[in-house]
Every structure is written in C-alpha cells, then in structure tokens.
Amino acid sequence: MSARPLTHAPVRALPIVFLVALHAGPTRLFAQTLWRVQAASVTFEIRNAGFPVRGSFEGPVAEVCFDPLRPEAGRLAGTVDPATIDTGIGIRDRHLRRRDYFAVESYPAIEATSIRLWKAPEGYAGTFVLRIRDVEREIEIPFEFEPAGGGARLSGRFTLDRLDYGLGKPSLILADDVGVEVVLDLARAGDRGDEGPACDSRRSEGVRAGMVEPS
C-alpha cells in the first residue's frame, strides 16, 4: 500500500485513522446513501521488542455518505482525538501524547477524508487524505460494507508506516508498521421504514457516533 506525501514536514505516527469498507448487493436497503453511526471503534497494533502492543482511540466521529451502487458519488470521513489513546499502560499512553509522538496539545485531531471512491475487484477502495500532526498524505484503502442487523457494518483494515507521519524515531525495538482496524455499525438516517435522505456531496451531512440525525 503506497502513500503519496502532500507535504515534506518530517513527522510520523502510530497510525490510525480511519478507514472503512463496503460490500453489498443491489437491495432496497442500500438505495439511500446517508447513514448514522450507532457504534464505532478504531484499534491498532504495533510490535515492540517482538511482542504485539494493541491499543485503541475513544470516541471516533465519522461521516458516512455511501451508495454501494454508486460509490464514486459517496463520501467517507473520520476524526479521532489522539489524546484518547489507550494501550492499557498509563505511562506509555502519556508518553505517546507528548511532543515526539502525537503532540496532542498542538494537534488535537487525526483526520481522514475520502477524495475518491470506487468499486474494487473485492469490495471497494478509496483514496483518502490522512492528516496526523501537521503532515498530510494520500493513501489508498480497501474497505467493505455488509448488511448487519437491519443496518450495515462498514469495516476496513490497513497498515501505515509511523515514520511517514513523524511519530517517534527509527528504532531497533519499535516496529515502523502499524496495523489499523476501523469498524462502524450503521443505521439508516431517517425515520424507520423509509429510505432516509440522500446525501448532498456539497455538504458534510452526517453520521456521528452518539449524536442525533443531521438536520
């Protein structure tokens, strides 16, 4: 998976962000394109001294405007607060929030926004602009979208190089690659029984975890 830098600022990151995925048939359920996030998780894994270290970020916010029959007209975006990082060890989490990693006081959000979506041989894929700290890079991410419990589940897995975003320094102990998984449980935005409002590609109509429907 390649990434094309938009800036030359030296930064790295314990990746994360968002991502996403879709895979569905031409049913009435997916005719509309605006979804509300019912639950969301962003988790990651990196190897340290040969052992896997797993963590997560709390309270991700996502926008899901997607029709699997017309992926090119959709929009996917996500934001997470790096200060919410949780690896299960407090002293490590505090270190990751400092200036040599996420610098959360200066950069309070990690953001990913799609600029192009398309149907892939398996599922879907998109080009996203991922911003961590003051570095933006374009990345290509595969994703899936499947019906689940009367709604849908959007999920994606990808790998990022933390050194591309200036998080930390090269290390013989800490790996460069970070695996990231994003899972969104979705419900149609709209009254039960209708197909919900269509997305307006000119706006960030939304789907936000724990929030009411967009107006």
Counting the structural domains of the chain, the total is: 1
Is the pLDDT score of 210 beyond 80? Answer: no
Which pLDDT band holds residue 53 (cuts at 50, 70, 90)?
A: very high
Residue 126 inside a domain? The answer is yes
pLDDT tier at 23 (50, 70, 90 boundaries)? very low
Residue 41 lies in a domain: yes
Greatest Cα pair distance, the chain, in angstroms, is 56
3-state per-residue secondary structure call for the chain: CCEEECCCCCCCCCCCCCCCCCCCCCCHHHCCCEEEEEEEEEEEEEEECCEEEEEEECCCEEEEECCCCCHHHCEEEEEECHHHCECCCHHHHHHHCCCCCCCCCCCCCEEEEEEEEEECCCCEEEEEEEEECCEEEEEEEEEEEEEECCEEEEEEEEEEEHHHHCCCCCCCCECCEEEEEEEEEEEECCCCCCCCCCCCCCCCCCCCCCCCCCC
Assess if residue 205 is contained within a domain. no
Residue 209 has pLDDT above 90, yes or no: no
> Is 173 among the domain residues?
yes
Summarised one tens digit per residue, pLDDT across range 148-197 is: 888 899 999 999 999 999 999 999 999 999 999 999 999 988 534 445 55
User: Which residue range is the domain that position 97 belongs to?
Assistant: 3-188
For residue 25, what pLDDT is reported?
A: 39
The answer to whether the CB of 136 falls within 8 A of the CB of 110 is no
Domain annotation covers residue 184: yes
Whether residue 91 is predicted with pLDDT greater than 60 in this model: the reply is yes
Question: Does the pLDDT at position 92 exceed 60?
Answer: yes
Answer whether 37's CB lies under 8 Å from 78's CB. no
Q: If pLDDT is split at 50, 70 and 90, which confidence band does 214 have? A: very low
Q: Which has the minimum average pLDDT: 3-12, 79-88, 125-134?
A: 3-12
Higher-confidence position of 69 and 170: 170
Q: What is the mean pLDDT of residues 133-141?
A: 95
The domain that contains 54 carries what CATH number? 2.40.128.110
Task: With respect to residue 133, please indicate whether it lies within any of the assigned structural domains.
Answer: yes
Instruction: Provide mean pLDDT across the span 129-136.
Output: 96
Residue 215 lies in a domain: no
Tell me what pLDDT residue 197 has.
55
**Is residue 198 over pLDDT 90?**
no
Within-domain flag for 203: no
Confidence of residue 67 (pLDDT cuts 50, 70, 90): confident
